[in-house]
Each structure stands twice: as C-alpha cells, then as structure tokens.
Structure 1
Amino acid sequence: MRGTPFPRRNAANVPEASLEQVPLLSLTSMAKEDFASAIGESFRQFGFAMVKDHGMDAALVDEGWVLARTFFALPDDQKRRYDAAANGGQRGYTAFGREIAKGASENDLKEFWHVGRDLPADDPLTATMPANIWPREIQQFQSVFRRLYAEFDRFGARILSAIALYLGLEENWFDDAVENGNSILRLLHYPPVSPNAPGIRAGAHEDINLITLLLGAEEGGLELKDRQGNWLPVVPPPGALVINVGDMLQRLTNHRLHSTSHRVVNPPPERRGVARYSMPFFLHLRPDFLIEPLPQCVDAAHPRRDPPITAHDYLTERLREIGLIKA
C-alpha cells in the first residue's frame, strides 16, 4: 500500500476551501502524483472531474462522431433491426424514450447504441456478456468503434492508476479488477426539441459502473448536483473529457468518493433545435469481482455502508431498476 488516502490538507490541517466549479485538469502538465491528488480531490468534492490533454486519438474520435450521426440518421425501421431489448440493452440499439432513470416517472428523451467487449468464445466470462452486434448499413462502423473502445479502455486505465495513488494503493491495483470488465461504449443521440419544450432530456441519476469517461459534453445541458443540492453546469472545452465516479467506486471506497447525481437539461431556447450527441464510456469491474469496501476507507468514523456484491449481480440489479431487464 502506498501513502495515506485522502491526504489533501493545508498547513493548519484543515480541508481546503470549496471550489465553485469542477476544475479542468491537464494530464500532461502535472506530475503523476500531483495529477492523482488533483483528480482525487475533484472526485471527493464533486464526484466529477474534467481532463484535457488526454492523448486520445483525435482523428479516430472524429470518425466516431461522423459514424454515430450517420447511424442515428437512419430510418427508424432500419435502426430497430438491431434492437437491444433481447440482451438487456447491453449491445446494439435502444430506441428513443425507452430508458428511464432509477426512481423517475418520465422516460428519457434519447436513443443510443451500445458497444461492448469482445471475448473469446471459451472465456469463462462470456456468459455474462452478450456478443456485439453491428449495423450492416454503415461501412467502418465495426472497425472504428472497436478501436475507439480500446482507446477509452487505455485512457481509463490511466485514470484508474491516478485514483489508486490517491487512495493509497499501488498504482496498478485496478489492473486485475477491471481486466475483461463489462465496460460499455454508448453512442447517445438527443434529438432536437421545440423552443418552448419544458423539462429535461435525461433524468437525474447516478452511474452504476466504476467510472464514466464522457466525450461530447461541450454541447450544454449536463449538470451535476453538488453537496448543497444545487445543480451546477458541467461544460468542458472542446475535446476535453468529463469523468465521474460511479456506484461501484462509491461502494469500493465506502462512500468516501461519491457517485453524484447528474442530469441532462434542455439547452437555452436558441439551442433547442440542435441535436445533442455524446459518447460516454462506462468502465466496469470484471463481472466476478467482489465489491467490498477497501480497508483504509473503513474506520470508527466511517463504518461499512454496503454489503459485498459481485459486479455482475450489481449490474443486473440496476438494469432491472431502469427497465432494460424485465423482472
């Protein structure tokens, strides 16, 4: 084990003053330990961080945006050929208005496509992960999004290394925990709405996974709920990633790092005629990983909050709650 978790203090040993917005961090202009401390503190305060200079292949990302727009522009009957209902929404297409946030009364105003991990047929984890399906109408869709999935996987490992250092763990602690995890790349489309449209595009929710890596949040609408109950906009500069803590990391850290409620609201009236596209990567623990609190996150002041559960059982539980698996 390395160091002590949650180390940030000033000379008087008092927590630093609160920030009013999520800080923008550079992956290339900070020493490894400094970046780990900064992103950990951003997660501790907001459950969110923003990262620029991340090194993901910009040309590949641009190809992904083009192909995502091409797919969502297909006629509905063509998109529905790849309906993901049979696999719990884990691979393929989920139609507009089908998903609903946990505890919400209104369905979200979005449609999406899921790309998952490819495993050999004889891998023991294959039974927990449906096989990918691919749209036949769009050349390069499969090759581009397989490569983009690998890019998110690679960058996610760098962020997990920083989190490990912040928690006082060895830098590679998460490597085995996420190997062959059921991570999902989601292509999201929020169609335009009328200038007078009320409400929100995606209801307030927390993510089930370990961490989420999001591209496309520069089109306004993403908001997080801070500790005082205020909704704060999260608008990174073009190309930067928004990263947030998921429920699995919250359980693993005994709620010392919080999985923060967030939502997507309708933009200002002048932008409501513009479609919103985003690309979140939900980074998951391996299905057979047992989620229980890290020892350094449990003490007299912070007793154990949650019972142990495997990542697969936890995911299945949530998919039922949001309506993608029928009980």
Structure 2
Amino acid sequence: MSQPHDTLSSISLSLADQDKDAFAARIGQSFSDWGFAIIGDHGISDDLIAQAEQMSRTFFALPDDVKRKYHIPGGGGARGYTPFGTEAAKDSDIHDLKEFWHIGRQLPDGHAFEPFMSANIWPEELDEFRDCYLELFAAFDKAGQRILEGIARYLSLEPDFFDDTVRDGNSILRLIHYPPVPADSPAVRAAAHEDINTITLLIGAEEAGLELLDKQGNWRPVTPKPGELAVNIGDMLQRLTNNRLPSTTHRVVNPAPERRGHSRYSMPFFLHFRPDYLIETLPQCIDQNHPDLYPEPITAHDYLMERLREIGLA
C-alpha cells in the first residue's frame, strides 16, 4: 500500500475524462488517507455559485420572524428553515452557532419515495430562490455521481456500481449561515462530528474554519481555493466499505478575533443513497485482516433516522 500523502492536494475532476484510472487512484488515495479530497474543475459554473451565494446571504438577512415562517416544527429540519441554536453534534450538550435551510430532491407526484422525502417549501419573498437552488442541486448531483464513479473504480467495483444506489436518493442541499461570534461564546460554529450520508460536497470552505482530525489525532485546516469543492466520506459509505474509506471527524472552529464580527456562509450537498438501499458490507472490503465490522445490514432510511435522533433533528 502506498504511503499517505502529507498534504491534502487538489484533484481536477477533468482528469476523470482524460484518465479514469488515474483519477480513481488519486481520489481513492486521498479519501483513504484523509476521508477528504479537494476537487477542482467540478463543472458547477462560477456564475451559478455566485448567484446561489448571494441568494443565501439575502435570505438569511431577512427578519427573524419572516424566516421562522418556514420552520416546520416536528419536521426534523428536513425541509425549509432551521433556526439558530437548534442542531448539536452527537454527544454534545452545546448547540452549534448556525442557522440553515434545507432543499431536497423534487420528486414527481406519486413517486415511491414520497413517504421518505418531504416536499420542498420555498420562501415567497425571493422570486428566483427555487430555480437557483434546483439548478444547483442538479449540478451537485451530477458532480457527485462522477466522484462516485472514481470511488467505484478505486474499490474494484463496476464503474456504474453507485448509479442505482443513489438514483432518486434522499440528498440534501443545505444553506448555512454562521453569524458573528461573541468573544465569550462557549460554543463553536460546528462542533466535531462526522457526516451521516454517502459523500458530502461543500462550497464555501475557502473562508477559514473547516478542520479535519487526521489519523494521528491532529486538527488540520481544510483550505480549498475559491471555487473548489471540499468533498468528504460520510458514515454510510464508511459502513459500506468496512471503514476502508473513513468518515473523518471534522469541525468548523470560531474565527480569529479580527474575523469574529463577520458571518460565514457555506453550501454543503449531502449526497445520499436512496431510502430503500440496503447498506451491506462490500465483500471486496472484507478479508482475514479486515473482518466485517458491520454484520447487520440496515437500510439507508433507517440508518438516517437513527442518526438524526442522535443530533436532535428527529
């Protein structure tokens, strides 16, 4: 096995079009070493990203009572607005310093997954909100499937292995606003946690704060260049691969004193398996030195609900 790299370097998604095996080797090594990869040339247009970032700032600047119109009590934060101070990391008693909005997949009427996936709601105050974020959702979905093809090749699976596992998956686009942080705050913007889903694609990590916990127990900053994606493995894929691809602990720390008065905005896309997909350890990831750590299969929906209860969203 090759030695871990010392730094988290950027990988161009265009390499997947030129040399699929080379791309798979690079991205697989990065995920194996870090649980993270930095992806450039991902195909999501700069103009769309700029529009989405501005739309997010405009929404979160609305009065609190307006935003709260779109909070759904008992909805687990699945759609619409989740107010500041609602979500906490697993096993944490302190709530994160953020508010957010969730957009899910638009399903046609009568779709089999309607019982698992709520309908989207849209703020009536912003005319272009719906079209902007549905376009961004589709662009994230496309980039994520290209990354999953590289992962499949790295794991010696058929290149299209993940296509059916995520088709009409319960993916979420989250718009996050981290407000300015008081100097005496006992909380951090996002406490140490792992993501629940398959893979996460994040726009907005170039503003300092995102850190990962490496295998030696050190916190390392994740610093993509403007326009690049930070991509990480989620718990569902870690489970499927018997921990071969780790779901790395990460956090968003509070800014330096000179930046405490500034908000931070980001847009993670949590790419999910379809709700009925059975997460069952891949035989390719089990051998004498790596016994099956997850002998009991579980559907993606049941696993998601277990985890949402742990973080206070269900």
Deviations 1:135-181 (A, max 9, x none): 00111001111111000011111000100000101111111100000
Q: Displacement, 1:247?
A: 0.4
Q: 1:268 to 1:37 in 2, by over 3 A?
A: same
Deviations 1:64-119 (A, max 9, x none): 01110000000110000000333211100000010000111210000000000011
Instruction: Tell me, yes or no, if the aligned pair for 2:94 and 2:187 is still in contact at 8 Å.
Output: no
Structure 1 gap segments, 5+ residues each: 1-14
Instruction: Tell me, yes or no, if the aligned pair for 2:70 and 2:123 is still in contact at 8 Å.
Output: yes
Instruction: Tell me, yes or no, if the aligned pair for 2:104 and 2:173 is still in contact at 8 Å.
Output: yes
User: After the TM superposition, which residues 27-46 of structure 1 pair with which residues of structure 2 at under 5 Å, given as runs?
Assistant: 27-29=13-15, 31-46=19-34
User: CA separation in 1, counterparts of 2:2 and 2:187?
Assistant: 36
Q: Displacement, 1:197?
A: 4.6
Q: 2:77 aligns with which of 89, 92, 95?
A: 89
Residue in structure 2 matched with residue 98 of structure 1 by the alignment = 86
Instruction: Tell me, yes or no, if the aligned pair for 2:211 and 2:219 is still in contact at 8 Å.
Output: yes
Question: Are residues 1:122 and 2:110 paired?
Answer: yes
Residue in structure 2 matched with residue 67 of structure 1 by the alignment = 55
Residue in structure 2 matched with residue 11 of structure 1 by the alignment = none
Q: Percent identity, please.
A: 59
Question: Are residues 1:17 and 2:3 paired?
Answer: yes
Once structures 1 and 2 are overlaid, which stretch shifts more, 100-109 or 20-29? 20-29
TM-score, normalised relative to structure 1: 0.93
Residue in structure 1 matched with residue 201 of structure 2 by the alignment = 213
Instruction: Tell me, yes or no, if the aligned pair for 2:95 and 2:187 is still in contact at 8 Å.
Output: no
Residue in structure 2 matched with residue 291 of structure 1 by the alignment = 279
Q: Secondary structure at the match of 1:213?
A: strand
Question: Are residues 1:266 and 2:254 paired?
Answer: yes
Question: Are residues 1:317 and 2:286 paired?
Answer: no
User: CA separation in 1, counterparts of 2:4 and 2:147?
Assistant: 23
Structure 2 gap segments, 5+ residues each: none
User: CA separation in 2, counterparts of 1:246 and 1:181?
Assistant: 14
Instruction: Tell me, yes or no, if the aligned pair for 1:196 and 1:269 is still in contact at 8 Å.
Output: no
Q: 2:68 aligns with which of 59, 77, 80?
A: 80
Alignment RMSD = 1.2
Deviations 1:206-246 (A, max 9, x none): 00000000000000000000111111000110010000000
Q: 1:253 aligns with which of 227, 241, 251?
A: 241
User: CA separation in 2, counterparts of 1:250 and 1:266?
Assistant: 28
User: CA separation in 1, counterparts of 2:142 and 2:63?
Assistant: 34
Question: Are residues 1:151 and 2:139 paired?
Answer: yes
Residue in structure 2 matched with residue 174 of structure 1 by the alignment = 162
Instruction: Tell me, yes or no, if the aligned pair for 1:195 and 1:270 is still in contact at 8 Å.
Output: no
User: CA separation in 2, counterparts of 1:178 and 1:54?
Assistant: 19
Instruction: Tell me, yes or no, if the aligned pair for 1:85 and 1:94 is still in contact at 8 Å.
Output: no
Q: Displacement, 1:18?
A: 2.9
Instruction: Tell me, yes or no, if the aligned pair for 1:251 and 1:293 is still in contact at 8 Å.
Output: yes
Once structures 1 and 2 are overlaid, which stretch shifts more, 282-291 or 51-60? 51-60
Residue in structure 1 matched with residue 191 of structure 2 by the alignment = 203
Q: 2:288 aligns with which of 295, 300, 303?
A: 300
Instruction: Give the residue type in structure 1 aligned to 2:260.
Output: R
User: CA separation in 2, counterparts of 1:274 and 1:26?
Assistant: 31
User: CA separation in 1, counterparts of 2:242 and 2:36?
Assistant: 17
User: CA separation in 2, counterparts of 1:142 and 1:269?
Assistant: 36
Q: Displacement, 1:54?
A: 1.2
Once structures 1 and 2 are overlaid, which stretch shifts more, 24-33 or 104-113? 24-33
Q: 1:159 to 1:192 in 2, by over 3 A?
A: same
User: CA separation in 2, counterparts of 1:195 and 1:23?
Assistant: 33
Instruction: Tell me, yes or no, if the aligned pair for 1:85 and 1:324 is still in contact at 8 Å.
Output: no
User: CA separation in 2, counterparts of 1:46 and 1:281?
Assistant: 19
